Amino acid sequence: MTGVSPKTRIQKKNTRAILEAALEIFSKHGFRGSTVDQIADAAGLSKPNLLYYFPTKEAIHLELLAGLMDTWLAPLRQLDTDGDPVDEIIGYVLRKLTMAQELPRESRLFANEIVQGAPRIIDQIEGDLRDLVNEKCDVIQGWIKQGKLADVDPHHLIFSIWATTQQYADFDAQIRGILRPRNDAHFSDAARFLETFYRSALTVR
Amino acid sequence: MTGVSPKTRIQKKNTRAILEAALEIFSKHGFRGSTVDQIADAAGLSKPNLLYYFPTKEAIHLELLAGLMDTWLAPLRQLDTDGDPVDEIIGYVLRKLTMAQELPRESRLFANEIVQGAPRIIDQIEGDLRDLVNEKCDVIQGWIKQGKLADVDPHHLIFSIWATTQQYADFDAQIRGILRPRNDAHFSDAARFLETFYRSALTVR
DNA sequence: AAAGAGTTTGACCAAATGGTCAGGAACACG
DNA sequence: CGTGTTCCTGACCATTTGGTCAAACTCTTT
């Protein structure tokens, strides 16, 4: 039987272990750079056993990406039309930064995929993601029209938020390399920087 | 003979073709995702012939990375202590954005490398790059002390500039996917956004 | 035009890799 | 406790891939 959808106790345990291991490996080496053996090792299974649960390496990768997309979009979903505009945006920035800190592997998994042209998730990007972004851009545009937010292009504002927050996960090696041997707690510095930065850029005066 | 340093007419032509082809392939598929055959094809050479000029696949990759590092740092080098602080930073932002537009392959080459932990360029990051960044951070800190620039962490300011500009090359697939079917000239929108954004965030009032 | 250096190639190799399969071991359940 | 299902494994396979090599070809130089 191939491509089992988790039912039994053992199936649940093992599919969970495989996805966890795959996240670890794929996020570190990219799709092509990861081997089924590596994933099987990390999951504590033999290769044939792993392939008993997922038919192919690609199936694991797809399941991972699909399963994480929701988590990934959650912070943007929370953006509240009725809140204070600047605070709402700052809140979004800080939520995204927290995600970069707490889920760096997920961030890198997406980064790896997108840098290489997003071949496997272009549909989700042009679907759910685009819809959500456009919806929230309308909200932001509304705030701007009400004079509650500086006049900036909403799409590029969102892009900038993704870039400035996710870099702390995706380009961690670079940032650590440059900051070394300075403090290791650069996330709180980043939070301070981003908050004052976005507040000062977005506040209407 | 292995690892020829270009001397003859043919050597110059072929090493150039190989590096150009390698940039194309590596930036698209990453190191592990690229094959020597692909590069040889793109360069119009046979595999053994390619390996006559470079001893290994890794040697090509290293040569590329090392050769491009200078180009990559040039915009930051131009940051002028004696210029107007805000204009200098804006100028840097726009130069980096132009590079993302004109040299997206180079940007993605680095992005691929850094996302995966920068195993092959960590030395350069912790060497030349770090030194240059620290030097320029001192300049920025000086401007801040003189009250000519808003008080922000210089390191994180630079990180944010890298992130907001390079994303237009590195995450091109995502940005196009979201903006589609809108205009294709999003670089000028990005330039407008970034200029007003950084100006408004950095100007002292 | 011959010699020697530089260049190119087909054939080949070893290792790595994704995936298969027949059968055995462990488990659930009546 | 027996039986059918689920789970697991060693052995195996085809393909891909990085790299080698001897031989052949071509270019330059005298």
Q: Is the ipTM of this complex over 0.85?
A: yes
Whether residue B136 is found in the same domain as residue B35 = no
* DSSP state letter for B182: S
Q: Are residues B42 and B100 in the same domain?
A: no
Whether residue A127 is predicted with pLDDT greater than 60 in this model: the reply is yes
Calculate the angstrom distance between C1' of D8 and CA of A26: 25
Does residue B172 share a domain with residue B93? yes
| Maximal C-alpha separation, chain A | 64
Average pLDDT over all residues of chain B: 95
Binary contact (A160, B197; C-beta < 8 A): yes
The pLDDT value given to residue B119: 93
Per residue in B168-191, pLDDT (tens digit) is 999 999 999 999 887 677 999 999
User: For residue range A23-42, what is the model confidence (pLDDT) as tens digits?
Assistant: 999 999 999 999 999 999 99
| A25 shares its domain with A97 | no
**Helices vs. strands in chain A: H and E counts, helices first:** 11, 0
Query: Chain A within 8 Å of B174 (Cβ-Cβ)?
Result: yes
Domain containing A73 equals 66-202
Does residue B62 form part of some domain?
Answer: no
- Are B72 and B173 contained in the same domain? yes
Residues with CB under 7 A from strand C: A 8-10, 34-37, 47-48, 51, 55-58; B 1, 4, 8-11, 14, 45-49, 52
pLDDT confidence of residue A137:
98
Give B13→chain A minimum CA distance, Å.
28
The distance (Å) linking the CA of A20 with the C1' of D6 is 23
State how far the Cα of A201 lies from the Cα of B203, in Å rounded to an integer: 10
Mean pLDDT of chain A: 95
Q: Are residues B35 and B97 in the same domain?
A: no
Judge whether A2 lies within some domain. Answer: no
- Domain membership flag for residue B61: no
CB-based contact B190 A32, cutoff 8 Å: no
Q: Quick check: A32 and B26 in contact, CB under 8 A?
A: no
Residue A27 lies in a domain: yes
CB-CB under 8 Å, A130 with B157: no
Which position has the token pair 């100006």?
Answer: B199
Q: Are residues A126 and A185 in the same domain?
A: yes
A185 and A160 share one domain? yes
Q: Closest Cα partner for A35 from A62, A15, A56?
A: A56
Give the closest residue to B199 by CA, choosing from B135, B49, B191, B31.
B191
CB A177 within 8 A of CB B118: yes
- A144 reaches B (C-beta below 8 A): no
Residue B183 lies in a domain: yes
Whether B126 and B82 map to the same domain: the answer is yes
Q: What was the pLDDT predicted at B3?
A: 43
- Cα–Cα distances (Å) from B67 to A36, B119, B154, in that order, read 34, 17, 27
B100 and B141 part of one domain: yes
CB distance from A9 to chain B under 8 Å? no
Asked, for residue B2, whether it belongs to a domain, the answer is no
B113 shares its domain with B51:
no
Q: A6-15 long-range contacts, Cβ below 8 Å, gap at least 24?
A: A11/A53, A14/A43, A14/A45, A14/A49, A14/A53, A15/A53, A15/A54
Report if residue A60 sits inside a domain: no
Q: Are B47 and B106 members of one domain?
A: no
The predicted-structure confidence for B83-119, as pLDDT tens digits, reads as follows 999 999 999 999 999 999 999 999 999 999 999 999 9
- Domains identified in chain A, total number: 2
* CATH number of the CATH domain containing B27: 1.10.10.60
CATH code: domain of residue A86: 1.10.357.10
* Residue B168 placed within a domain: yes
pLDDT category of residue B1 using cuts at 50, 70 and 90:
very low
